[in-house]
Amino acid sequence: MNESGKEKSFLEKGRDEQYRDFADAVINALPRDIDSDIMGGWIEDPAGLSRRLGAALGAHRSGIAGKHLKSWHLFYHDLFQIDLDFGQMRVPDARKGFDRLIVVASGLTPHRIFEVFRELFGHDCYGELAGVLLEDERSSGSGPYAVWAMDNTEPDDDLKGVSAESLKNDGVESMTLVERLLFGLKYHNETGDHLDRETWTLCAGSRHAGVFVPRVGAGSGIELGWCSKHEAHPVLRARRVVA
C-alpha cells in the first residue's frame, strides 16, 4: 500500500517498474575504470551526484519547460534538419509573465535563420545580413542555450522610446537578433501569423560594429532594418528576457 493507505494504481506500478529498469540501465552503462578518488568524492557528496545526474539525464526538464523543449526539438528537426541535443543545456528559472521559452541551437546564426525566412516568404522577406558581424549579449558558440521572454505579439510597451544604449547602461537583458528571429519563426510556425505587426522589436542584445542595432518588424513576411544605438522612438521597443 502507498502512503494514503490505498493500493498503487496500474500506472504507479508501471512507473516503478520503468524506474527500476532505467536504474539498471544506468548502472550497467557506468564505466568500470572510474578513478577510486573520484568515486570516493561522489560517495561523500550524494547531493552533488544527484544534481549532476539530473542535469545529464534531463530530470530538471519536466513540467512546463519539458513541453517547450519537445516543441523546439520538432521545430529544429522540421525547419533546420537539426537534431537538437539538450543534454548540457541549462534552462533558466522562469519568472512570472515570461512564458515563452526560446531555444538557440549550437552555432546557429541569424544568416541561417534568415535563409529559412526567405524560403518561406520569398519577396516578402526584406533586409540583408551579408557581411554583418554581430556582437551578442549571449552566444550559442559553445552550445545551445535558452531564454524566457514575454509571449506577446508586440514588444514590451514600457520600453517604448528607450534606446539600446540606455538599456545596456541600466543592465536590462533583452533579445538578440537571433532570439527575435527564432521567436518570430516559431510563432509563425504555430499560428500562421507574425510578430510586430504594429511596432518594431529593437534587438538591443545585438550590435554591429559596436554602433548599429538591428530592428525587426513584419507585414506579410519579415523586415530587418538597422538603427543607431542611441535611437529612441515609441514604435521601437526591446523585449526583455530571462537568461
From the list 161, 147, 172, 164, the residue with the least C-alpha distance to 210 is 164
What per-residue string of b and e applies to 14-43 under the rule 16 or more CB within 10 Å gives b? Answer: eeeeeeeeeeeeeeeeeeeeeeeeeeeeee
What's the pLDDT tens digit per position in 52-98?
776 566 544 556 688 899 999 999 999 999 998 887 788 998 899 99
Per domain, the residue ranges of the chain are 10-59, 66-242
For residue 1, name the pLDDT band (cuts at 50, 70, 90): very low
Q: Which three cell numbers stand for residue 240?
A: 526583455
Tell me which residue has cell 529593437. Answer: 202
What's the pLDDT tens digit per position in 148-159?
999 999 999 999
Q: What is the pLDDT of residue 3?
A: 47
Contacting residues for 23 by C-beta, under 8 A, at least 6 apart: none
The CA R_g of the chain, rounded to the nearest whole Å, is 22
Does 2 have pLDDT greater than 70? no
For residue 4, name the pLDDT band (cuts at 50, 70, 90): very low
Would strands 125-126 and 222-228 be described as parallel, antiparallel, or unpaired? parallel
What's the pLDDT tens digit per position in 222-238?
999 999 999 999 999 99
Q: What is the pLDDT of residue 64?
A: 67
Q: What is the pLDDT of residue 14?
A: 62
Does 213 have pLDDT greater than 50? yes
What single letter denotes the amino acid at residue 190? E
* Maximum Cα interatomic distance, the chain, rounded to a whole number of Å: 68
Q: Which three cell numbers stand for residue 199?
A: 511596432
Query: Considering the chain, what is the average pLDDT of its residues?
Result: 88
Give CA–CA dist 87/56, Å, rounded: 6
State pTM to two decimals: 0.75
Q: What is the pLDDT of residue 47?
A: 72
Q: Which three cell numbers stand for residue 208?
A: 554591429
| Three-point CA angle 201, 203, 208, nearest 5° | 140
Pairs from 95-98 (Cβ < 8 Å, separation ≥ 24): 95/148, 95/242, 97/150, 98/148, 98/149, 98/150, 98/240, 98/241, 98/242
For residue 48, name the pLDDT band (cuts at 50, 70, 90): confident
From the list 74, 130, 63, 135, the residue with the least C-alpha distance to 103 is 74
